[in-house]
Structures are given as C-alpha cells and as structure tokens.
Amino acid sequence: MELPIRLKVHPRASRIVLRVDPQDAAVDLVVPRGVRLAEAVEFARSKGDWIRRRIEALPPRVPFADGSTIPVLGFERRIRHRGPRCRDARGVVWLEPGELHVVGEEAHLPRRVADWLKLHARDDFTRRARQFAAETGRPLRRVTVRDTRSRWGSCAVDGSLSFSWRLVHAPRFVIDYVVAHEVAHLSEMNHGHRFWAVVDRLVPDIDRPRAWLRDNGGSLLRYG
C-alpha cells in the first residue's frame, strides 16, 4: 500500500506525530521545527503497519449523491434528487420525513447539499449558543462555521465562537455539549474547575457526549 504523506512543521510540537485524516484517508506527519527530513521519513516508515491498520479501519466515504443516506442532527436522511422541473418544490433543498430533497441539475447536488448543511449548522449552532450565553449572562459576539478538522469548536477572546459545520451530522446531545463547551469559555478561557462547573450547569451528563465524540467523531468527516 503506497500512501502520500503530508509533512507539517509545527513550531509548538515536542515530538514527531503521525495522524490519519479520516476525511481523505491521508497521512499527516507532524514534526517539531529543526527535525531532519530523513529522521521524519524513517519514523513514518517504522509505523507502516500502524498506518495500514488505521486506513483499513476507516469507515467508507458517503458522497452527497442521490440515494445516499446522511445523518442530519443525528437523524438519518436519504438524499433524493428531484430534478430541475420539480413542481412541488419547497425551496432548493428541504427536509421531509426521512429524506433530504434537492432540486436542480444533478451535477449541482453535492454543492447544494453542502451549502444547505452549512447554513443549517450555522443557524442551529447560533440559536443554541445564544440560549446558553443568556444562561451564563456573558455576551456573545457572533457564531461562524468552518470546515475544521482538528477541533470541533473554538472561542476567541473577542467573544466570537466558531464550529466545524460537520457537527451538524451529530446527535443533538453531542452538538449541545460542544456548543456549551465553547460558550463556557466566554466565562473562563481555560479548562479549570470553574470552567467545567459552567459546562455542567449548561448540559447534563457531559461524559456521554465526550465518549460519543471519542468513539464516533472521526465518522463525521466521511460525508460529502
């Protein structure tokens, strides 16, 4: 098995690390600044069996295509292409029980599904973030969504929150935990006892969503 390896020099890395990206089955080789290329390559070669096992264990990709089934807020929806002359359309993309309907040329379907999911994610995460922020009494500046792979959410010092739009595939209790986690940083920009006390007040049983993300988080990257 021959696989391309992406070399990334990270100034804060303390050791060489290998990561398998579940979104595109690529291998990232993260090295501290100053490490010789030959040393990094030899490290990757020594982990060949580990890399193969991780690649083989990845769940199959699920494209945004007619007939594919994807989760939206944890509920399975089958994508249904309706064609450009659909007479009962309720928009370009809309939900019906168990289905996600998409109007237009089939070539445009993947982009339209992705755009709809990103918009749906932003609206949903913003609504929940504002509810949680109101409970803490802390100001929330804005909420954005991005296609981040290394973290599900982040909080800036100016009160802005950002989330991976791919969380829209996760169940509600997982989304609420991630949103609450970042809202808690509006009060405490750390992971100390007072921070976790805020999270505990916002969402119950945080061990459950944390375990779900640990076991299933990588699968959220396989859609699209």
Q: Are residues 171 and 189 in the same domain?
A: yes
CATH of the domain at 207: 3.30.2010.10
The token pair at 109 is 């379907």
Structural domain including 76 reads: 69-114
Average pLDDT, the chain: 92
Contact of 165 with 118, CB cutoff 8 Å: yes
Query: Are 159 and 140 a contacting pair, CB within 8 Å?
Result: yes
pTM over 0.85: no
Name the domain count of the chain. 3
Q: Same domain, yes or no, for 175 and 210? A: yes
Residues 137 and 218 in one domain: yes
Q: What is the pLDDT of residues 2-20, one digit of tens each?
A: 677 888 888 888 899 888 8
101 shares its domain with 81: yes
Digit-coded pLDDT (tens) for 102-119: 999 999 999 999 999 999
Question: Are 92 and 37 part of one and the same domain?
Answer: no
Q: Are residues 32 and 87 in the same domain?
A: no
Is the same domain home to 27 and 92? Answer: no
Q: pLDDT tier at 99 (50, 70, 90 boundaries)?
A: very high
In a domain, 62, yes or no: no
Measured distance CA(65)–CA(79) in Å, rounded: 7
Q: Which residues pair with 83 in a beta bridge?
A: 103
Same domain assignment for residues 161 and 188: yes
Residue 63 in any domain: the answer is no
Determine, yes or no, domain membership for 64: no
127 and 86 in a common domain:
no
Res. 163 pLDDT band, cuts 50 70 90: very high
- Together in a domain, 130 and 184: yes
